[in-house]
Amino acid sequence: MKTVIQTKEIPVVKKVDVLVAGGGPAGIAAAIASARNGAKTVLLEKHGFLGGMGTAALVNPFMSYFSGRTQLVKGVFQEVVDRLKERGAYGGTGHAWSFEPEEYKFTLNELALESGVELLFHTYVVDAVTEDGSITGVVIESKSGRQVIEAKAYIDCTGDGDLAARAGAEFKVGRESDGQVQPASIMFKMGGVNNRRKAWEYAVEDARLPQGRVLFFKMPREGEVVINMTRIVNVNALDGEDLSRAEIEGRKQVKEIVDYLVENVEGFDNAYLITTGPQIGIRESRRIMGEYVLKTEDVLECQKFDDAIAHCSYMIDIHNPTGAGTEKVILPKGQWYDIPYRCLLPKDLNNLLVAGRCISATHEAHSSLRIQPTCYALGEAAGVAASIAVQESISPKQVSVEKIREKIDLVVSHA
Binding site for ligand FAD (CB under 6 A): 21-27, 44-47, 52-54, 56-57, 59, 61-63, 124-125, 157-160, 162, 185, 187, 228, 281-283, 356-357, 370-372, 375
The minimum distance between CB 25 and ligand FAD, in angstroms, equals 4
Among residues 308 and 344, whose Cβ is nearest to ligand FAD? 344
The neighbour count for residue 201, using CB atoms within 10 Å, is 7
DSSP H or E run through 136:
strand 134-142
Q: Which is nearer to ligand FAD, 147 or 158 (CB)?
A: 158
Rg (alpha carbons) of the chain, rounded to whole number: 21
How far apart are CB 153 and ligand FAD at their closest, in Å?
17
- Supply φ then ψ for residue 137, to 5 degrees: -165, 155
Contact 18, 242 (CB under 8 A): no
Question: How far apart, in whole angstroms, are the C-alpha atoms of residue 9 and residue 180?
Answer: 39
Question: Residue 152 CB, nearest distance to ligand FAD (Å)?
Answer: 20
Alpha-carbon span 338 to 389, nearest angstrom: 23
Q: Which is nearer to ligand FAD, 185 or 253 (CB)?
A: 185
Nearest distance in Å: CB 168, ligand FAD: 16
Alpha carbon separation from 157 to 161, 323, 354 (Å, rounded): 7, 29, 6
Cα(211)–Cα(207) distance, integer angstroms: 8
> Which residue number, 329 or 394, has a Cβ lying nearer to ligand FAD?
329
If the CB atoms of residues 29 and 39 are measured against ligand FAD, the closer one turns out to be 29
CB-nearer residue toward ligand FAD: 25 or 340 = 25
The letter for the amino acid at 349 is L
Give the shortest CB-159-to-ligand FAD separation in angstroms. Answer: 3
**Buried/exposed 72-98: b ≥16 CB within 10 Å, e otherwise:** bbbbbbbbbbebbeebebbbbebbebb
Select 146 or 394, whichever has its Cβ closest to ligand FAD.
146
Nearer to ligand FAD, 109 or 158 (CB): 158
First to last CA, the chain: 57
Q: How far is the CB of 160 from ligand FAD (least distance, A)?
A: 5
Question: Beta-carbon neighbour count of residue 192 at 10 Å?
Answer: 16
Beta strand ranges found along 240-389 (DSSP E): 272-276, 286-288, 308-312, 316-319, 326-329, 337-340, 352-354
CB of 43 to ligand FAD, least distance (A): 9
- Least CB distance from residue 371 to ligand FAD, whole Å? 4
- For 32, other C-beta atoms within 10 Å of its C-beta total 29
Contact criterion met (CB below 8 Å) for 329 and 301: no
Q: Which is nearer to ligand FAD, 10 or 394 (CB)?
A: 10
Query: 39 or 315: whose CB is closer to ligand FAD?
Result: 315
We find the least distance from the C-beta atom of residue 49 to ligand FAD, in angstroms, to be 8
Rounded to whole angstroms, the Cα distance separating 284 from 184 reads 8
Residues 6+ away with beta carbon under 8 Å from 142: 120, 122, 123, 124
To ligand FAD, the closest distance from the beta carbon of 393 in angstroms equals 27
d(CA 122, CA 220): 29
Q: Which is nearer to ligand FAD, 59 or 294 (CB)?
A: 59
Q: What angle do CA 177, 182, 187 make, to 5 degrees?
A: 175
**Smallest gap from residue 299 Cβ to ligand FAD (A):** 15
Query: With contact defined as beta carbons under 8 Å apart, do 173 and 287 qualify?
Result: yes
